[in-house]
Amino acid sequence: MLMLNYCAAKQSSGWRILLIGLWLLLGPGLRALGQQAAPGPQPADTVVTSITARHVRVPGSTFYVRKTPDYVAEESLNGLVKSNGALLEVLRIPQSNFLNVKDVLVQQYLAKAGRIGEQRQLLFNGYPAVFGEGESIEPGKSLMVLGFGDTTSIMLVFGLYENADQQSAAELKQMLLTGWFDPKGTIPPLELAPFVVQLAGTPFQLQQVRNEGKLYVFGPAAKSKTEPLPPQFTVQVLPPTGFENLRPELQSSVQQRTTTGAVIKTEERQVSAQPVFVYEISGSSSYQNRRSTFHQVIKTDGEATLVFDGVTFGAPAAAAATAPRNKAKSGSKLTAPAAPDYAAALKKIADSLRMKR
């Protein structure tokens, strides 16, 4: 439920927010209807597809499409986007009976008094399905939707484009109706997170998801000998929360990783106030005879608060003092690989952290 509140598409936030509102209105009703749907009419036509080498998985889903080169994965939504703003997005509604809503589903996502260009029932790879196209809730845009499912869940695949953009309309229709769904497929956990974070080029990877998707734990990506104090950062997802309520928790986190009596040096600054409040805390201390460096960031808006809490540990003081200093010999081509700069990586990753839109 939390995830859906943050997935409004950056390119068309009004459309996505209204879509979510409709889902919230529709979802409880769907579950309340139970399993008492009467059999519908025989589908007018059947669509049978199979996965090919050209199919790619739509991020955040197990729906595959034969996308055209102009569409690229968009990390801010579960979908693909074109440079002109046309987009394809996939939404799954669990614990819902598709048979109860297939006759009215298309109208739920089109303008109430707008144009409906096409609406028909299908059998999509064995699933009861509907396909429709018409005027979007968002002014100046058209929407097409492929909906299919069973008595346990609903899959919705949307295409959104400018009214006059017939090329994108044809591309999206082709992608929807030649798509392929893998009901047993798995989705990388980070794709389902309500936030975006850039890990490429950094020495970190996602390690765990805790608290029903509200706490994400990241650690070293490289496989090496067991490190008693590995670098780590977490991202916590909270309802909108004031900075004054979070600062004591972050201070406690630093104190827990600081030797009693050790000096804690910190620098704090408010990075921005609107539209997203960002507060940053950086500093250093020592723990178990190691220098520790921490970096903490709070980012909050009207929808959610993200709390970034990262720490790295240096080598033990005795080891650092006795470690030989390797100097490259003249003409030598062999050099030891540089150790990852975890502290710099923490700041880079924290800067990239943002809510999905």
CB atoms within 10 A of CB 71: 22
Architecture of domain 3-187: 3-Layer(aba) Sandwich (3.40)
The arithmetic mean of pLDDT across residues 212-241, rounded, is 89
How far is Cα 129 from Cα 148, in angstroms, rounded to an integer?
4
Q: Are 93 and 86 in contact (CB under 8 A)?
A: no
CB atoms within 10 A of CB 206: 17
Q: Are 248 and 265 in contact (CB under 8 A)?
A: no
State the Cα angle at 239 between 236 and 242, rounded to 5°.
Answer: 90
Judged against a pLDDT cut of 70, whether residue 19 lies above it is answered with no
Topology, domain 190-320+339-355: Protein Transport Mog1p; Chain A (3.40.1000)
Q: In the chain, which segments carry CATH 3.40.1000.10?
A: 3-187, 190-320+339-355
pLDDT confidence of residue 131: 95
How far is Cα 208 from Cα 189, in angstroms, rounded to an integer?
9
The tens digit of pLDDT for each residue in 298-329 reads 999 888 999 999 999 988 865 555 555 555 55
Q: What percent of the chain has pLDDT over 90?
A: 63
The arithmetic mean of pLDDT across residues 147-162, rounded, is 95
pLDDT confidence of residue 334: 57
Q: Which residues contact 139 (CB under 8 A, 6 or more apart)?
A: none
How far is Cα 75 from Cα 10, in angstroms, rounded to an integer?
10
CB atoms within 10 A of CB 229: 15
Q: Are 91 and 8 in contact (CB under 8 A)?
A: no
> Which of 12-21, 100-109, 137-146, 161-170 has the largest mean confidence?
161-170
Q: Are 20 and 8 in contact (CB under 8 A)?
A: yes
CA 340 to chain centre: 26
- SS3 at position 176: helix
Judged against a pLDDT cut of 60, whether residue 229 lies above it is answered with yes
DSSP state of 172: H
Average pLDDT, the chain: 83
The tens digit of pLDDT for each residue in 33-85 reads 434 444 444 445 899 999 999 999 999 999 999 999 999 998 888 899 999 99
State the Cα angle at 149 between 143 and 155, rounded to 5°.
Answer: 45
- SS3 at position 28: helix
H/E element, 344: helix 342-352
The tens digit of pLDDT for each residue in 246-282 reads 999 999 999 999 999 899 999 999 999 888 999 999 9
Q: What percent of the chain has pLDDT over 70?
A: 80
pLDDT confidence of residue 182: 96
State the Cα angle at 107 between 167 and 1, rounded to 5°.
Answer: 95
Token pair for 25: 């209105």
pLDDT confidence of residue 338: 72
Asked, as a colleague might, if the bond just before 275 is cis with ω within 30 of 0, I would say: yes
Q: Are 295 and 282 in contact (CB under 8 A)?
A: yes
pLDDT confidence of residue 7: 35
Q: Which residues contact 320 (CB under 8 A, 6 or more apart)?
A: 314
